[in-house]
Amino acid sequence: MASRQLQQQITVDGQQVLVVRSTRRTRTISADQVAGTLRLRVPVRLSQREIEDHARAFQKKLSRRAARRPRSDEELLARASALSARYLDGVPQPEAVSWSTQQHQRWGSTTSTTGTIRLSSRLREMPVWVQDSVLVHELAHLIEPGHGPSFKALVAKYPRTGEADAFLAGVSWADHHAD
């Protein structure tokens, strides 16, 4: 018996999904991404509602997986620009943002004359909100070079600054007290 596949493009929560219905599939559903589009392989008998439910579940799973994946330098620059716009009125415009394997004592550094920000590669495995806090801190240095009251007011615009500072203080303490 020859298998037959039917392909259909649908939109689920604003995202394109390619649905491949197969007569050979009877129970299993699989998903992958092709050129940034979710592709679902499903049994031919699956209802539209079931397909949409599975698409949402796979989209959620893929976005969680992407959030755990370390950001590239290009993604860091884009994230820094977004954080600048959201928390600092778009004033600081970094020229480059990159990971640095050379920073062991600092979480980040800024060269204001070139608009370059470097983040310690140790941050790669930390939660995104901690990375974002360090990015906002370094962006604030593009406006205010010191750590005075104006600088602190800028950094405080990021709502999780205190939480991120505590997180990083705990990591630093653990690093210095490791056996």
Instruction: Kindly give the parts of the chain with pLDDT less than 50.
Output: none
Give residue 71's pLDDT.
74
Question: Edge-to-edge strands of the sheet including 96-100?
Answer: 96-100, 116-120, 108-111
pLDDT of residue 129: 93
Could you please state the CATH topology (level 3) that the domain comprising 73-176 is classified under. Answer: Zincin-like (3.30.2010)
For 126-167, write each residue's pLDDT tens digit.
Answer: 888 999 999 999 999 999 999 999 999 999 999 999 999 999
Q: What is the pLDDT of residue 154?
A: 97
Residues of the chain with CATH 3.30.2010.10: 73-176
Q: Which pLDDT does position 5 carry in this prediction?
A: 83
| pLDDT for residue 67 | 61
DSSP the chain: ----EEEEEEEETTEEEEEEEESS-SS--EEEEETTEEEEEEETT--HHHHHHHHHHHHHHHHHHHHHSPPPHHHHHHHHHHHHHHHSTT----SEEEEESS-SS-SEEEETTTTEEEEEGGGGGS-HHHHHHHHHHHHHHTT-SS-SHHHHHHHTTSTTHHHHHHHHHHHHHHHHT--
The pLDDT of residue 121: 93
